[in-house]
Amino acid sequence: MSVLLEMYHAIQACVSVFAGLLSAMAIYTLNQWEPQAETASRYSNKASRELHKTRTTQASGALATLSSLISSVVCVVLVSSGGSITALLISAANAAGIFLAYNHIGNFWRDKGKVPFTKTYNDGVRSSHQMLQVLAGLSISWAASTAIYLFRAIAY
pLDDT tens-digit readout, 75-96: 999 988 877 889 999 999 999 9
Q: How far is CA 18 from CA 22, 92, 135, in A?
A: 6, 21, 10
Q: What is the pTM of this model?
A: 0.88
pLDDT tens-digit readout, 16-60: 999 999 999 999 998 888 788 788 878 888 888 888 898 999 999
Helix, strand, coil percentages for the chain (3-state, nearest 5)? 90, 0, 10
Task: Determine the pLDDT at residue 48.
Answer: 85
Residues 121/30, Cβ–Cβ less than 8 Å: yes
Task: Determine the pLDDT at residue 47.
Answer: 80
What band does 156 get if pLDDT is binned at 50, 70 and 90? confident
What band does 70 get if pLDDT is binned at 50, 70 and 90? very high
Give the H or E element holding residue 127.
helix 119-155
Domain count along the chain? 1
In terms of residue numbers, what domain contains 12?
A: 2-155
